[in-house]
Structure 1
Amino acid sequence: MEAFRPPRQQGVGQSTVTRHIAELERALGVSLLNRTTRRVSLTDEGARYLAGARTILRLVDEATDQARSAGGDPIGKVRVSCTAALGIRHVSRGVFALQDRCPGIAIDLGLSDVRIDLVREAVDVAIRLGPLEDSSLQLKPVGQSHRVLVASQAYLARHGCPSTPDELARHQTIRMSNVMGSGTLRARGRMRPCTPSR
């Protein structure tokens, strides 16, 4: 799907766009835009219509790419979403390798630690840490991420060393709030004794 270009860059006047939108609203029987003297924004119906239209256009693009690549090398665009740290450290290498093997595939790799609506953003592949939030999506595990509890010597000197997992509940912690399930900790094996340095 081509990147959005303002109507003026496409040689289309504002009056023409306004007329087309008015005709579309009459045909649909709903308002797609909220209009004020200062700004124009999408109504709820307009946002849903836009998301559906983008999905249709993406499917048309995919069908076109499949038809073109039926007899040759794969071509097309794939949108991938991933957290920043995971993408920089691991995923980007795979993306570069895939593009070397399949130069006809354009990969749009979006790195963000903010949770996004994968359907609305037309993301083809999302790589996430933690359990699957939306059951309508298909999940395939690709690896495991192990976490390690650490503390600074200064913190342990002030608050003491936990000797059992239950004692961790009274300690102050920092966690990645954007990772599903990060509020739950499953400890395995024995806790190593810690001794704050003096």
Structure 2
Amino acid sequence: MRLPDLEAWAIFAAVVDARSFSGAAESIGLSKATVSKAVSRLEAQLGQSLFHRTSRRLALTEAGRPLAEHARRIVAEARAAEEAARDAASTPAGSVRLAAPMSFGIANVAPLVADFLTLHPGIQIDLHLSDARIDIVAEGFDVALRIGDLADSSLRARRLCGIATHIVAAPAYLAASGTPRHPSDLSQHRVLGYSNIPGPWHFRKDGEPEVTLRPTGPLIANSGDALVPALVAGLGIARLPGFIVGPMLSDGRLVAILPDWTPPPIGLHLLTPPSPLRPQRVEALIAFLSQNLRDPCAGAVLPASDLPVSADA
């Protein structure tokens, strides 16, 4: 049985990431000729071209695009195996790249990162806060926290807990426009949209059929914090997670409406790349986040023990 050409696969992954043969050669310390020969060797073994080559541009072929993902996994698993062997005889050390949503990350993840670094002084955290749906494999993240439903993918996912959401408005808006008594009333109101909770709104109440609707309004944003000024100014109604609106509900700037109709909680998930092989420092961070993000967070997070858990990371 012929063994796979792992060196050629690793070089192919380097070319994909560098987007050029010369860039890959520089990044891995080989000559451009060696890099080119390795890719040509792999193409010959596979019986198909991996790149479209011109004097100005290098692009993956239709066949090369899915194989690039396999190449990245091969390299990632090899690195993880090497690091696991080294870590077995040492305390966790090195860098971990962590991605999290912006508002939730500032309020809940950043304080935990500080606690984690106190416990593990040999580890460095590269924390990336963004509400964009990043590709954690392509962008080289070890761990990502994501709120909301997950699309089918090869990523490993663990549901940590459910985050409560609230339908809220300013007292001034309700005084001027009336208070909705039933979810269907929202179709007659100005609604501010939080695009990180996509899809229709669902409402449940004991003894009543579930209500589903798609309210519309004058503002939509991918950051819940960006909706708050318009909400407080009395410009509409919004559905937002408790970690954003909790303080304003407490001080009366916002009011929760439709209290008998419960929007289902949105899931907080921990995602990792497909490989089960991970360095000790990454395993330490996963364990720490999994434990500390299972607890209620100022009434904004529901315990994970009350919710089903997906395929474990």
After TM superposition, the score normalised by the length of structure 1 is 0.73
Calculate the aligned-residue CA RMSD, in Å. 3.3
Unaligned runs of at least 5 residues, structure 2:
1-13, 205-257, 262-313
Partner of 1:189: 259
Partner of 1:109: 127
> Comparing both structures, which one devotes a greater share of its residues to strand?
2
Amino acid at match of 2:84: Q
Aligned counterpart in structure 2 of residue 129 of structure 1, from 147, 152, 162: 147
Say whether residues 1:150 and 2:150 are aligned partners.
no
Bigger relative CO (Cα 8 Å, ≥ 6 apart): 2
User: Which range moved further: 47-56 or 7-16?
Assistant: 7-16
Inter-partner Cα distance in structure 2 for 1:134 and 1:123: 18
The size of the alignment, in residue pairs, is 187
Partner of 2:194: 176
Cα deviation, residue 186, structure 1: 3.0
Inter-partner Cα distance in structure 1 for 2:114 and 2:60: 37
Aligned counterpart in structure 2 of residue 56 of structure 1, from 52, 64, 74: 74
Secondary structure of residue in 2 paired with 1:89: helix
Inter-partner Cα distance in structure 2 for 1:151 and 1:55: 49
Secondary structure of residue in 2 paired with 1:175: strand
Q: Given that residues 96 and 123 in structure 2 are in contact (C-alpha distance below 8 angstroms), is that contact kept between their aligned partners in structure 1?
A: yes
Aligned counterpart in structure 1 of residue 86 of structure 2, from 68, 84, 91: 68
Partner of 1:141: 160
Inter-partner Cα distance in structure 2 for 1:185 and 1:123: 33
Structure 1 residues 9 and 68: alpha-carbon distance in aligned structure 2, compared to 1, 3 A threshold: closer
User: Which range moved further: 6-15 or 68-77?
Assistant: 6-15
Inter-partner Cα distance in structure 2 for 1:185 and 1:71: 51
Secondary structure of residue in 1 paired with 2:192: coil
Inter-partner Cα distance in structure 2 for 1:77 and 1:38: 35
Aligned counterpart in structure 2 of residue 24 of structure 1, from 24, 29, 42: 42
Secondary structure of residue in 1 paired with 2:165: coil
Q: Given that residues 82 and 127 in structure 1 are in contact (C-alpha distance below 8 angstroms), is that contact kept between their aligned partners in structure 2?
A: yes
Q: Given that residues 148 and 196 in structure 2 are in contact (C-alpha distance below 8 angstroms), is that contact kept between their aligned partners in structure 1?
A: no
Q: Given that residues 77 and 106 in structure 1 are in contact (C-alpha distance below 8 angstroms), is that contact kept between their aligned partners in structure 2?
A: yes
Structure 1 residues 44 and 80: alpha-carbon distance in aligned structure 2, compared to 1, 3 A threshold: farther
Partner of 1:195: none
Q: Given that residues 80 and 108 in structure 1 are in contact (C-alpha distance below 8 angstroms), is that contact kept between their aligned partners in structure 2?
A: yes
Inter-partner Cα distance in structure 2 for 1:131 and 1:47: 26
Cα deviation, residue 54, structure 1: 1.6
Partner of 1:196: none
Cα deviation, residue 41, structure 1: 1.2
Cα deviation, residue 91, structure 1: 0.8
Percent sequence identity is 35
Cα deviation, residue 129, structure 1: 1.6
Q: Given that residues 113 and 178 in structure 1 are in contact (C-alpha distance below 8 angstroms), is that contact kept between their aligned partners in structure 2?
A: yes
Structure 1 residues 8 and 129: alpha-carbon distance in aligned structure 2, compared to 1, 3 A threshold: closer
Secondary structure of residue in 1 paired with 2:38: helix
Amino acid at match of 1:104: G
Amino acid at match of 1:189: P
Say whether residues 1:78 and 2:96 are aligned partners.
yes
